[in-house]
Homo-oligomer: A and B are copies of this chain.
């Protein structure tokens, strides 16, 4: 076919401040690489090469080494090349002690396989895949809520430190979706990043098509349930800040739903459907 190059640039954002505070740099390499993988996947593309940027007021070589090593590991895990990058000392631009981690992922896809495709239409079902925590969005609010408190969450087996759940890296959906995309079962994808389900699902829809997402069709993860309560905001607002437990949505024709779910080797939820009323609506209350 005709290969098309796609590219996506993004950053880890203020999650790095929590990584710094807890000396957990290994997560941010996977964060930024997987964020890029998922962004090119939404266009139907497989990751090809990654370029990173690591900037600080003063660079700590040991920290840079840990971040870049974790990027290299994540790149190897998704079969892309860590092509190069930039490390920059920017006193006066980056706050003392902070590190800014960003990157550009290049991907490739045959023109015929670009997503979203022309089949997306009212009646399509919305299939959700679970997130591993908050991924790389909504961290400024999290930091305000958590501040310097030493919080724990109740879990089977006892209390666990909140920070352990917060700093789980962004997932790559290449593994779970590779087969389904290759088989042409997916007509569009929405990667749930900044703007949440409403913002990212809207970008996958053609003119004149809307979506109803039913909040009672999946379970809001405990961490995000706690954050929503702690923030004192309603779920509609939280849905524009955090992923609410779904990191990727796949749009599928109802006739191919069973085939799609069989091709994805992990739990999925049918969380809604496309309609002929433009706009993304969150319906009902969280389960």
- Please give the residue numbers on chain A whose beta carbons come within 8 Å of chain B beta carbons, in ascending order: 5, 7-11, 13-14, 16-17, 49, 51-53, 55, 83-86, 88-95, 98-100, 102-104, 106, 140, 143
Contact A49 B7 (CB under 8 A): yes
Contact B14 A104 (CB under 8 A): no
- 20 CB-based A-B contacts, threshold 8 Å: A5-B49, A5-B106, A7-B51, A9-B53, A9-B85, A10-B86, A11-B55, A11-B86, A11-B90, A13-B90, A14-B92, A17-B93, A53-B102, A86-B102, A90-B100, A91-B140, A93-B95, A93-B100, A94-B95, A94-B98
Contact A104 B7 (CB under 8 A): yes
Contact B84 A9 (CB under 8 A): yes
**List of B residues within 8 angstroms of A100 by Cβ:** 55, 90, 93-94, 100
Known: A51-B104, A88-B13, A106-B106. Contact between A7 and B93, CB under 8 A? no
Query: Quick one: copies of this chain in the complex?
Result: 2
**List of B residues within 8 angstroms of A49 by Cβ:** 5, 7
User: Does more than half of chain A's interface fall in helix, strand or loop, or is it mixed?
Assistant: strand
**List of B residues within 8 angstroms of A10 by Cβ:** 86
Determine the distance from Cα of A140 to Cα of B13 in the docked complex, in whole angstroms.
Answer: 24
Contact B90 A14 (CB under 8 A): yes
Residue of B nearest to A96 (CB): B95
Q: Told that A7-B49, A55-B102 touch, could you supply 9 new A-B pairs with CB distance under 8 A?
A: A5-B49, A8-B84, A9-B53, A14-B92, A17-B92, A89-B140, A92-B95, A93-B100, A104-B104
Contact B9 A88 (CB under 8 A): no
Contact A52 B14 (CB under 8 A): no
Residue of B nearest to A102 (CB): B53
The residue from B9, B88, B98 contacting A93, defined by CB atoms under 8 A apart: B98
Contact A143 B92 (CB under 8 A): yes
Determine the distance from Cα of A103 to Cα of B93 in the docked complex, in whole angstroms.
Answer: 16
**List of B residues within 8 angstroms of A89 by Cβ:** 140
**List of B residues within 8 angstroms of A83 by Cβ:** 7
Q: How far is the CB of A266 from chain B (nearest CB, A)?
A: 29
Residue of B nearest to A11 (CB): B88
Contact A16 B102 (CB under 8 A): no
Most buried by B among A17, A49, A88: A88
Contact A94 B92 (CB under 8 A): no
Determine the distance from Cα of A95 to Cα of B98 in the docked complex, in whole angstroms.
Answer: 10
**List of B residues within 8 angstroms of A51 by Cβ:** 7-9, 104
**List of B residues within 8 angstroms of A8 by Cβ:** 51, 84
Residue of B nearest to A89 (CB): B140
**List of B residues within 8 angstroms of A95 by Cβ:** 92-95
Determine the distance from Cα of A91 to Cα of B49 in the docked complex, in whole angstroms.
Answer: 29
Most buried by B among A5, A7, A83: A7
Determine the distance from Cα of A100 to Cα of B95 in the docked complex, in whole angstroms.
Answer: 12
